[in-house]
């Protein structure tokens, strides 16, 4: 199913970048580029989005995406009290802090040292542990966690998300729940523009060529990889999960904010976030 995704098998060639910024990018160079990007941009990203994400709250917050859906309202993870929870791609760990404040034993993991440094400043009192790693190779024993979650962490930023699904399945106990949010796959067909230009499909939904930014020496500076909805479900099923819920948060009536390509204009017409909730079989 993913044979049109260049580099999904770990190849390291970087194809020629086309005018729109889509090119082949292998698995390792994607992770290398994105680690540097998040290290470089951590501070600016948190200045821009931190308040929305609850970064300034003592107990953090758990926001699933730009629509502002909160775990406190959605309850996709169920009761987290007393559960061992892994947050994948935790960034500054707002969700981990929120989970810890609700009684979970939490480990937040992320690729970026700068994001984790920001997280460390904020999580010192929360009890959440922080680990630096690539989500495709989780440094935890089998069956260590009851729940795993991710709000836009890691999954869209790797060429081989099936690796993350397998690793999460491995570290979850049988019956454990894995819930994660990503950009809704339909957005891939539209320009990442919050205005009217973002309402006209200009690209095939089925084209898995990643969005890539690169430097003058053709090194990957940033890459985002696309999966169709069917691919996402297949990645989960292939890793031994049973999909229990597929959530498409709606843009709230009173929300006027803009986050990159997310806006009221587009959010009223098209889904912007996909949340998948799956259970590890066995
Ligand atoms: C959009 S942030 C998500 C964190 C937080 N929920 C937020 O909304 O800010 C994406 C995070 O994924 C992390 N990330 C990207 N690739 C990763 C990988 N291969 N393994 C672990 N984390 C990764 C980045 O470092 C970044 O902190």
Asked if residue 2 has pLDDT above 70, the reply is no
User: Which pLDDT score is estimated for 5?
Assistant: 27
pTM (two decimals): 0.93
Task: Report which protein residue has its CA nearest ligand 1's atom 14.
Answer: 154
Cα of 282 from ligand 1 centre, angstroms: 29
Kindly give the distance from the C-alpha atom of residue 70 to the centroid of ligand 1, in angstroms, as a whole number: 18
- Which helix or strand (DSSP H or E) is residue 268 part of? none
Q: Please give the span between the terminal C-alpha atoms of the chain, in angstroms, as a whole number.
A: 25
pLDDT at 11: 34
* pLDDT, the chain, mean: 92
Determine which residue's CA is closest to atom 5 belonging to ligand 1.
91
**At 98, which helix (H) or strand (E)?**
helix 94-101
Q: Within 6 Å (CB) of ligand 1, which residues are found?
A: 31, 34, 38, 53, 89, 91, 95, 110-112, 115, 134-136, 151-154, 157-158
Quick one: pLDDT at residue 7? 29
Confidence at 4, pLDDT banded by 50, 70, 90: very low
Q: Which of 62, 107, 111 to mutate to test the pocket of ligand 1 (most atoms within 8 A of CB)?
A: 111
pLDDT value at 61 more than 60: yes
User: For 112-150, how does the pLDDT look when each residue is reduced to its tens digit (9 = 90+)?
Assistant: 999 999 999 988 777 899 999 999 999 999 999 999 999
pLDDT in tens, 251-267: 999 999 999 999 999 99
Q: What is the pLDDT of residue 17?
A: 55
Instruction: Provide CB contacts within 8 A for 270, sequence distance 6+.
Output: 184, 186, 187, 190, 199
Residue 13 pLDDT greater than 70, yes or no? no
Does the pLDDT at position 19 exceed 60? no
**Alpha-carbon dihedral sign for residues 124, 125, 126, 129:** positive
By most ligand atoms within 8 Å of CB, the mutation choice from 154, 161, 167, 261 for ligand 1 is 154
């Amino acid at each position: 199913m993913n044979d049109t995704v260049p580099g999904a098998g770990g190849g390291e060639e970087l194809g020629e970048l086309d005018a729109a910024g889509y090119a082949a990018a292998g698995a390792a160079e994607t992770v290398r580029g994105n680690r540097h990007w998040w290290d470089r941009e951590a501070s600016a990203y948190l200045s821009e989005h931190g308040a929305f994400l609850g970064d300034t709250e003592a107990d953090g917050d758990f926001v699933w995406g730009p629509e502002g859906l909160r775990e406190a309202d959605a309850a996709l993870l169920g009761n987290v009290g007393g559960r061992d929870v892994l947050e994948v791609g935790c960034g500054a760990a707002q969700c981990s802090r929120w989970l810890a404040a609700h009684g979970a034993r939490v480990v937040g993991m992320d690729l970026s040292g700068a994001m984790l440094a920001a997280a460390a400043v904020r999580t010192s009192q929360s009890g959440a542990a922080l680990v630096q790693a690539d989500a495709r190779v989780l440094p935890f024993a089998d069956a260590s966690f009851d729940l795993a979650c991710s709000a836009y962490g890691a999954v869209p930023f790797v060429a081989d998300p099936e690796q993350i699904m397998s690793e999460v399945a491995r570290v979850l106990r049988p019956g454990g729940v894995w819930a994660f949010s990503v950009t809704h796959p339909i957005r891939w067909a539209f320009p990442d523009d919050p205005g009217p230009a973002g309402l006209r499909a200009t690209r095939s939904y089925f084209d898995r060529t990643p969005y890539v930014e690169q430097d003058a020496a053709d090194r990957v500076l940033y890459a985002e990889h696309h999966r169709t909805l069917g691919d996402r479900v297949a990645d989960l099923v292939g890793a031994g999960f049973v999909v229990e819920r597929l959530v498409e948060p709606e843009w709230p009536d009173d929300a006027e904010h803009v986050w990159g390509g997310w806006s009221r204009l587009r959010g009223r017409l098209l889904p912007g976030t996909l949340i998948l909730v799956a259970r590890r079989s066995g």
